[in-house]
Structure 1
């Protein structure tokens, strides 16, 4: 699959209303919502459908057997499984209610063997946040983590340039990509990567790259991995595992999140910080389906067009996307 060709074709082939030629009738809703609710998800109630600006996709990357899936399991449910099962690709969704707003976090847990390079590149282009996992007892996985970061940045730069039809000889602008390098398995006695080395590398990068030493097995600093990610992404810190109340979704319930409490606007500004944090809640959406490849290509088209039309744009918030009538712009 030539994703560059897909990007150029999708950005070029537009109908008068800004939609690609031959696009389905529901294309507007698919693209507008970014990673938004997929068909068959349980978030069918209007009061738990997040606005597009609050929808984000987190991509977990790294070599095989470094603990990507274990970190995801800890993040979603505080669980850990000793046995190893190779991951092909897993998709999860978590909904939050934070200070009266609904947020949606889609998590794409990728394979460490990357049998389909085009799919991996597609995950680079559709991802908003990234956690790159390596093992502290394996130098090869650390070197692979560095390569992955370089590939993500380069892919987003090239996609933005190709969407404008301008050659890659023009000056490249480094995109802002919130990212955490997670040094997992720090409980191992033998290490081939030091904390100082990993921290020095992240310090040499931009302000959106952080390093956290962690252990999914011991549940050591797993919360810190995602806390730092949401911090550099300028997202609500209540999205971190230990900063909100976990709600269990009831089987068959149309709305995974509980009803919002009636607002007391006159008193909300007098609540303590601890009380405001305790009001945040999150729930893992059951039976959610991964968006189709076609939907991902539409999302990729929106994001790459936006990169190309807003070169050099800087912001203190993560990349957010929306459609307009005649094209894509960066919000």
Structure 2
């Protein structure tokens, strides 16, 4: 995917809320949502680009989980979500990764868009509220839809398709009002933690979220440092640190010195992240499907 500089970029760059000077002279700045035009390109291998999709009914705490993941904060006020898109970049052991986060609507007014979200998703978080039985039944339907959709895409049976997926029973701090029986949850999850895992969490209390993210990334064979508690958060003003660290660690790895401190990982949340177009999503689906049979690094993550 190639993003061209246009009038919209000029509007963003001239906005009064942004600093008057470029935020970052490095190539990575071009990736941070068009904030610093550059004649050069930064290519992220397709194998390092992933999308995390959060699904569930309304008012179960999907956005609160996303907020904890991105900022570590909890917003008590409820605002209905139509669809929110976020993007995060990591420097981990000499590699740069891109993780898109799709916070979906609980009302799913457009079934085709939900199906597209599932098709483009690489890892999934299904959320229900422990005090709302209807939301648990919705998670049952969602899991089945994910397996059906992914098995069709990968030309596999539902029993053989691998989809990194965790189910979260949120609002564990409201245990007194529980409406979902533990045995029903165990029956839904099954007995294979490599295929599906369950976590009882509280986004409000920040309980068990770190363990949940670690398990999800382990299932997807992604670096554990993607979990919020295992990397340093870097603000956009210092995004050159991310790029420099990746280059330095890559040189150390090539030299055989181990790449420095294994815990030396950084993450940046991209401002002004915009959901890719439907056409870009369809190209992404095709690329991921072909990458299943032969690993290719294509131009989806090339930004110029």
**TM-score using structure 1 length:** 0.71
Q: CA deviation at 1:288?
A: 1.7
Q: CA deviation at 1:41?
A: 4.3
1:66–1:134 CA contact under 8 A, matched in 2: yes
Q: CA deviation at 1:115?
A: 0.4
Q: How many residues align?
A: 266
1:104 counterpart residue number: 98
| Aligned Cα root-mean-square deviation (Å) | 3.1
Q: CA deviation at 1:196?
A: 4.7
1:39–1:289 CA contact under 8 A, matched in 2: no
2:268 counterpart residue number: 283
Query: What pairs up with 1:1-331 in 2 under 5 angstroms?
Result: 40-42=33-35, 49-161=43-155, 174-188=160-174, 189-204=176-191, 207-250=194-237, 255=240, 257=242, 259-260=244-245, 262-263=248-249, 264=252, 268-269=257-258, 275-277=261-263, 279-304=264-289, 322=296
2:94–2:248 CA contact under 8 A, matched in 1: no
Separation in structure 1 between the aligned mates of residue 284 and residue 36 of structure 2, nearest angstrom: 20
* 4+ runs deviating over 3 angstroms: 37-49, 170-173, 194-197, 253-256, 261-271, 301-307, 320-324
2:47–2:297 CA contact under 8 A, matched in 1: no
Separation in structure 1 between the aligned mates of residue 148 and residue 36 of structure 2, nearest angstrom: 35
2:60–2:127 CA contact under 8 A, matched in 1: yes
1:42–1:285 CA contact under 8 A, matched in 2: no
Q: CA deviation at 1:157?
A: 1.9
Q: CA deviation at 1:26?
A: 6.2
- Which blocks of at least 5 consecutive residues in structure 2 are unaligned? 4-29, 299-304
Separation in structure 2 between the aligned mates of residue 146 and residue 205 of structure 1, nearest angstrom: 17
Distance 1:245 1:39, change over 3 A: closer
Distance 1:94 1:85, change over 3 A: same
Q: CA deviation at 1:257?
A: 2.8
For residues 112-154 of structure 1, what are the alpha-carbon distances to aligned partners after superposition, in whole Å with 9 as ceiling and x for unaligned? 0000000000111111110001111111111111110110110
2:164–2:195 CA contact under 8 A, matched in 1: yes
**TM-score using structure 2 length:** 0.77
For residues 220-274 of structure 1, what are the alpha-carbon distances to aligned partners after superposition, in whole Å with 9 as ceiling and x for unaligned? 1111221110011111101001011111112xx7758352273545684496xxx
Separation in structure 1 between the aligned mates of residue 32 and residue 230 of structure 2, nearest angstrom: 29
2:93–2:265 CA contact under 8 A, matched in 1: yes
Distance 1:145 1:256, change over 3 A: farther
Separation in structure 2 between the aligned mates of residue 247 and residue 283 of structure 1, nearest angstrom: 5
Separation in structure 2 between the aligned mates of residue 182 and residue 152 of structure 1, nearest angstrom: 16
1:178–1:229 CA contact under 8 A, matched in 2: yes
For residues 78-108 of structure 1, what are the alpha-carbon distances to aligned partners after superposition, in whole Å with 9 as ceiling and x for unaligned? 1111111110011001100111111110001
172-181 or 220-229: which moved more?
A: 172-181
2:91–2:243 CA contact under 8 A, matched in 1: no
1:131–1:180 CA contact under 8 A, matched in 2: yes
